């Protein structure tokens, strides 16, 4: 039997965005991995000043307890599909 830890995300209505460090901690990856996913367009983000933030609702929609799929596979993020780079419709 596989032992899985529970992923706890904040409520998107109370905390609409997450920092890169928070996303790295939630996913159990290095922050360089999160930056690489953002730079490739696999993970949507928005820049506020010098800060890079990830939409909590986007991340929550892709993390399910029964999912064995890799988080960064499948459809591309809205950022990579949007004509104006970096403008993410929330």
| 24, 31 Cβ separation under 8 angstroms | yes
Residue 21 has a pLDDT of 96
Q: Check residue 13 and give its pLDDT.
A: 85
Q: Considering only residues 54 and 77, tell me which one the structure prediction assigns the higher pLDDT.
A: 54
Q: Which CATH class is domain 11-64?
A: mainly alpha
- In the chain, domain spans: 11-64
Question: What pLDDT shows up at residue 10?
Answer: 86
Mean pLDDT, the chain, integer: 77
In 10 A of CB 6, how many CB atoms? 5
Measure the CA dihedral 43/47/48/51, to 10°: 70
16-35 pLDDT, tens per residue?
999 999 999 999 999 999 99
Burial of 39 (0-12, 13-18, 19+ CB in 10 A): exposed
Q: Flag whether pLDDT at 71 surpasses 60.
A: no
């Amino acid at each position: 039997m596989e032992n899985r830890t529970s992923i706890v995300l904040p409520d998107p209505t109370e905390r609409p965005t997450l920092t890169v460090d928070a996303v790295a901690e939630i996913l159990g990856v290095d922050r360089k991995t999160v930056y690489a996913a953002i730079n490739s367009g696999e993970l949507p983000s928005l820049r506020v000043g010098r800060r890079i933030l990830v939409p909590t609702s986007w991340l929550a929609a892709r993390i399910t307890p029964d999912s064995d799929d890799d988080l960064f596979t499948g459809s591309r993020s809205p950022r990579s599909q949007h004509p104006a780079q970096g403008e993410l419709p929330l």
